[in-house]
Structure 1
Amino acid sequence: MSTRDETPDAPDLPAEDAAGASPQQPPEEHGPAAAVDPALIDPAAVVRLRLVIARLYRQLAQASTGQEFTFAQQSALARIEQHGPLRLGELAALERVAAPSMTRTVGPLVAAGLVSKVPDPHDGRSTLVELSPAGADLLATIRQERSELLAGRAAALTAHEQAVLLAALPVLEHLLVDGAPDSR
């Protein structure tokens, strides 16, 4: 059940944005065979999308545990969880940062007991970083809190808006293509 007024006078989705422009219709297909000319994508819509994603992420981050850790530290924790014990150089490569930066990122995680340094079983001169039980617990708590917030927000949408949001997931996931150039 939606918390919004679903009368015909209050449409689920605006026909126009604040500037009076009609919203962009997504292409029927996506992928290499159905490539869209980038010149056809409304720059104002790109700005809106970027701002919505950034603001939503910020709200999710602010509503969850672990705020004392930077985005880079939380990302490193998640990579270690995903890939298992890693050398710092391997973790740096996965995160696309320099090894000295990763050393500075991981140091506070080790000090907080979220990551442990263990000997590399294949090279006694090297160490690996692995997720500790406390690190796994922190990641699980952060994910649960963020998912609960997002689920609550989605529950407040109309049925039509929920359907549109779910239909947009494959397109948003397509934006996450690994190996895309990092153009910060």
Structure 2
Amino acid sequence: MADTTPAEVAELATQLRLACMRVSRRVRFESVDAVAPHQFSVLVRLAEAPRNPRELADIEKVSPPSMTRTVNGLAEQGLVTRAPDPDDGRCVIVSLTPDGREALDETRAARDAWMTSRVAELTPAEQDLLRQATLLLHRVADR
């Protein structure tokens, strides 16, 4: 097999990026989610640990006012609670509620079911190829 040219690597990278974006979008928007995609991402972060809105904004790469709106929406739905920060009375700590955990679990299950149904339509050889590609994609993401 001949060496891959820089142009071929660039084209592969572009096509891979586009395919990953399409799969991600389809998983987020075609499965029936209990919460909006941006809210789901915040619930995932809060399942790891309670955080203040500034930390959440930094992690999610959004503005603090945008995160405040997201947290307010989640709080109105009863999915998170806000409590005074014991180290800084001017701040709040946002935590996942039991209903928030349930919404997170339901959304994950719906997304997994959507993806499982698509992968099940592939041949065993195609599934094996995806298994190998998944390992490579993890390596790419971890760099």
Confirm or deny a common fold (TM above 0.5). yes
Q: What TM-score does the superposition give when structure 2 sets the normalisation length? A: 0.83
Tell me, yes or no, if structure 1 residue 92 matches structure 2 residue 66: no
- CA 1:133 to 1:41, structure 2 compared with 1: closer, same or farther past 3 Å? same
| Runs (5+) with no aligned partner, structure 2 | none
Counterpart of 1:58 in structure 2 is 25
List per-residue Cα deviations over 1:67-121 (Å, max 9, x = no partner). 5x2x322211111112x11111111111122222211221211111111101222
Tell me, yes or no, if structure 1 residue 81 matches structure 2 residue 74: no
Give the total of aligned pairs: 141
Counterpart of 1:112 in structure 2 is 77
Q: What TM-score does the superposition give when structure 1 sets the normalisation length? A: 0.66
Counterpart of 2:112 in structure 1 is 147
- Counterparts in 2 of 1:1-80, with a 5 A limit? 39-43=7-11, 45-61=12-28, 62-66=30-34, 69=36, 71-80=37-46
In 2: Cα distance, 1:38 partner to 1:143 partner: 38
In 1: Cα distance, 2:9 partner to 2:14 partner: 11
Counterpart of 2:135 in structure 1 is 170
Counterpart of 1:123 in structure 2 is 88
In 1: Cα distance, 2:84 partner to 2:6 partner: 49
| SS of structure 1 residue aligned to 2:142 | coil
In 1: Cα distance, 2:91 partner to 2:10 partner: 50
| SS of structure 1 residue aligned to 2:141 | coil
In 1: Cα distance, 2:134 partner to 2:126 partner: 13
Q: CA RMSD in A?
A: 2.4
Q: By how many angstroms is 1:42 displaced?
A: 4.5
| Runs (5+) with no aligned partner, structure 1 | 1-24, 28-35, 179-184
| SS of structure 2 residue aligned to 1:85 | coil
Q: What is the letter of the counterpart of residue 64 of structure 1? A: V
User: Identity rate of aligned residues, in percent?
Assistant: 35
In 2: Cα distance, 1:174 partner to 1:64 partner: 30
In 2: Cα distance, 1:164 partner to 1:109 partner: 39
Q: Which deviates further from its counterpart, 121-130 or 153-162? A: 121-130
